[in-house]
Structure 1
């Protein structure tokens, strides 16, 4: 009821109450001064002669408090400047009281008027502070408020607590701070607690949110604190300093992250690559793995070539929905056909090619995450090898003009199942290229793609945002990198250059040391590397050891014999390949191993038929 009464009052009504209270306090102050003086002298207080003066001083207080604007000052905005106005009010009322005393002849001594002025000042400020606490409690009980725990009792934390005290929707409960000298103190009316009791505080004080008010510490350190609070069951938010929010001069700001393209170790090629539109304009094109990083970029670039029809093949419903929705929102003219299914489903692929009269197939569907394929070799080999075989044979039987396989640098002397599966897929396509009448089969091989799902760049970005550590498998590991746009353009170029059985390779420049890349990304994000030379740095680079089947250095070619293409940066590798009989034997053995779910037999197929396979993979096969 009290809450409804307080909230129902208008601003004018509240100002009248404030002015009347000041009047009552002014009258009370002179009466209290008379009582105090009499008690000091040991005489009974004679209040009756002072009553007319008290009434006159009350009237004077009403006039003066309105003149000074005190009733217009909101309770939650009452501060030192408003207290100064209260002092002026007390002085003016005292002066008025002395003048009225002369007129009325009440005989109150000058010292009593001074005492009355001091009492008036104390009471004017006190009743406002008391009323502020009272109304805050009324609002807190009458309206649900977010209960906040402030982590950091420094300047920013105190400023935040002071600001939240005036908020009707948020209630600061207490401070947390790592500084032992501050713990158990009361700062700004809030007790400071140690972080070790945060769970008890959250439970006992019904905390809804923890606000990190420590902008002076590094973001990685802040992220680690937030990460450590994730188990308490409440939201954790970080607050910048007020100087940072307004952009105060001299306040350091975080640097922007390094653009991914600058990490290539060479100049970009998108501008150098020639137009490929002629090979795809007006054609009917199928892209498998259309929801993946490379597949989706292929679809975007193909649309710029104005094809007649674009068939999207994807086994992930969410990925297919996402890319289909994105392309549909572009408002393009070509017909876009989403096909939900696997490349292992030969009849479904044949039906899609026949119904939509596909001219070009861009095969980007593959399991590519090395650790996952290494621990699931049967699934990886079935999808990457047999899926390629099924799709390529269907394309040949459908009379498709071009078939382009998206391969990987991990297919070169592979040390893992994923790389071996990609090389076996290349061997399948190379074999079909020797016996195909109309369809031109080709492959394109490139290194790691910046920003693709599962690549090292998003992993490092996530680890840096979390405050570290950044994990590195080996201090000397190197990789080749290219952008998603370059990778997609290379695939499209391969289709336009293909003569049959080609393996196209991009001149990717020098390989990039991953340790240097990690340091660049940390420093580019505005942090420092924590190591032996800089123990106070922000983020540590932690060595975890090479994963099973992982190479220290990737390669792009098996044979050093290179042929040129119409573009100086695109090279053609003449790879050795299996005969038709050998390919048939390899596929028959692989299918039998997959049907029997026999990992040892599947690895034996790899060891026998993949040329240049590195010793670690062979020894692993023999050991198994």
Structure 2
């Protein structure tokens, strides 16, 4: 059998032709014997003449119908129809030949002949397909897996894997009791309670999740119940990618953290998405960053006339510009994507750009956002986050920009670090400018961590798991809010369209996530266990490194309780303390002088005096200042 399976395509066609030659002959004589119940028919010359005339017609009909072009391992219902048609043609030919050759043929023989021929020609082909799918020779080198989900996607995945060379599905798992103990495509469906026994019995190392159409909450519930089984869990692509053809059903992926968190994105309000973008000139500062680049992708979908990418990093600008140029070409339309280098600390550069291109909407995403980095580079953090926002906002006002949206952070609430304080100062600047004038509509959108952004714990944990650990977590009790980058970008755009001037919008981040639990779940999803005192034989240890300078255990999104719900269920409006422009301007002038003189003690004093709620847990951590202190003392 193995020799036959490995033969060349022409050889297989010849074998199929010879097999059908035999099948037609056997069906003919079997029908005659069953009907006449006499072996004498084998010695009847006229019967041999009838068979000899029938054989070439039958084989030519099969060739014309394409029966020998079908690949047996992929034979399906369409091939079954072709086989049935072939049997019909051969049977009709038998009747006509007996009539024209004037050879007597009992009337029931064609019916019996058709039945035998259908069993022989069709049955043999489906038997070969089954043997190819379940052949021990073929499958002994394939890894045994379990498919979670016996729906249409699970069945398609099983079919694909049976014909592939990597995995061999030995069981379906499904929560629907109606499927339990049923056999689908030769594979038995079990309940989730049977998983531990199946894993142990068949030495399963991977479970394949086939639930592309299920909600994130449903998938999260399933993952939470099976992630402790010490098997790697892979998933098939989402339904959107499968339908669009961007991915195939057997392109298995790591389970996304979005699935694990169980957060379903709310369908966006398209009128809000378009309000500040459609047929307008839009500018994004920090366009090459995690949030900035996703903002650009979402903005491009809303068909602006021009999209200006403003970025300090040449490489980041090159990358996002190449991606968006391709996306713009695929979308069609007349949107121009313009890549411009520059720093938000150069007001004249930004104002010239905004005036030249008649910018109508600005999304200000440019900022230094990594807490430890800003703690160690205080002056640059203040310059970029506070004065960069000031210059961008003033340039927008002087260039008559209609809307200016600041991307803020949950770390601006009761900050314990310089980064959070600078972002709260940036909010105060926009609030003050909103009171000062009515030309530009300023608003800011505050949210927590985004999954997969630069510096996010998720890619860090994945890398640490791949390298064999350990996984590093700052503190066993640290928690954070998480949101996907696309959802955050969409909500920022929608919130920006709701602002009336000086608004502080807060995104609903869902439930907070304990980072140590997230690390454990990611380990389990990779088929590993935590190595600790209770489980010394585990795979990877989790090490707690201690809170970094300026880091908090718990992040907040609101300073006070004065918050109102907007028309969007995931967007709230916060009413925070603000300063008049006159009071804030005086503080900014002093802060500018302190930065110019690298007076870190003065910078710290001014940030503490500002109405930001700054409550540092550490001393001054700027590396240059610390080195100078060592030299002087």
Determine if the alignment matches structure 1 residue 473 to structure 2 residue 474: yes
**Partner of residue 255, structure 1:** 233
**Partner of residue 502, structure 2:** 501
Q: 1:566 to 1:378 in 2, by over 3 A?
A: same
Per-residue CA distance 1:368-387 (angstroms, 9 max, x = gap): 01111110010111000000
Q: What does 1:135-534 align with in structure 2 at a 5 Å threshold? A: 250=202, 252-253=205-206, 254-256=232-234, 257-264=254-261, 266-270=263-267, 276-330=273-327, 331=329, 332=332, 333-534=334-535
Q: 1:248 to 1:447 in 2, by over 3 A?
A: closer
Q: 1:396 to 1:618 in 2, by over 3 A?
A: farther
Q: 1:308 to 1:557 in 2, by over 3 A?
A: same
Per-residue CA distance 1:2-36 (angstroms, 9 max, x = gap): xxxxxxxxxxxxxxxxxxxxxxxxxxxxxxxxxxx
Per-residue CA distance 1:433-492 (angstroms, 9 max, x = gap): 111222100000000000001111111111111111110100000001111011111210
**Partner of residue 600, structure 1:** 601
**TM-score normalised to structure 1 length:** 0.59
Mean Cα deviation higher: 398-407 or 533-542: 533-542
For the residue of structure 1 that corresponds to 2:337, the secondary structure is strand
Q: 1:412 to 1:617 in 2, by over 3 A?
A: farther
Q: 1:329 to 1:616 in 2, by over 3 A?
A: same
Q: 1:540 to 1:271 in 2, by over 3 A?
A: farther
Following superposition, the deviation at residue 579 of structure 1 comes to 2.0
**Partner of residue 592, structure 2:** 591
**TM-score normalised to structure 2 length:** 0.58
Cα distance in structure 2, aligned partners of 1:281 and 1:608: 42
Cα distance in structure 1, aligned partners of 2:621 and 2:539: 39
For the residue of structure 2 that corresponds to 1:276, the secondary structure is helix
Cα distance in structure 1, aligned partners of 2:233 and 2:271: 35
Give the ranges of 4+ consecutive aligned residues of structure 1 lying more than 6 Å apart after TM superposition.
Answer: 618-621
Q: 1:289 to 1:584 in 2, by over 3 A?
A: same
Q: What does 1:42-121 align with in structure 2 at a 5 Å threshold? A: none
Following superposition, the deviation at residue 610 of structure 1 comes to 3.7
Following superposition, the deviation at residue 432 of structure 1 comes to 0.4
Cα distance in structure 1, aligned partners of 2:405 and 2:361: 8
**Partner of residue 107, structure 1:** none
Contact conserved, 2:375 with 2:621, CA < 8 A, in 1?
no
Give unpaired runs (5+ residues) of structure 2: 1-142, 144-164, 171-201, 207-231, 235-253
Contact conserved, 2:417 with 2:616, CA < 8 A, in 1?
no
**Partner of residue 12, structure 1:** none
Contact conserved, 2:344 with 2:350, CA < 8 A, in 1?
yes
Contact conserved, 2:563 with 2:575, CA < 8 A, in 1?
yes
Q: 1:620 to 1:287 in 2, by over 3 A?
A: closer
Following superposition, the deviation at residue 278 of structure 1 comes to 3.4
Contact conserved, 1:607 with 1:617, CA < 8 A, in 2?
no
Contact conserved, 1:264 with 1:482, CA < 8 A, in 2?
no
Following superposition, the deviation at residue 506 of structure 1 comes to 1.1
Following superposition, the deviation at residue 255 of structure 1 comes to 2.6
Cα distance in structure 1, aligned partners of 2:264 and 2:372: 31
Determine if the alignment matches structure 1 residue 549 to structure 2 residue 550: yes
Larger radius of gyration: 1
Following superposition, the deviation at residue 613 of structure 1 comes to 2.0
Per-residue CA distance 1:240-270 (angstroms, 9 max, x = gap): xxxx957597453443233121244643335
Following superposition, the deviation at residue 616 of structure 1 comes to 2.1
**Partner of residue 559, structure 2:** 558
RMSD: 2.5
Following superposition, the deviation at residue 273 of structure 1 comes to 8.0
Q: What does 1:529-540 align with in structure 2 at a 5 Å threshold? A: 529-540=530-541
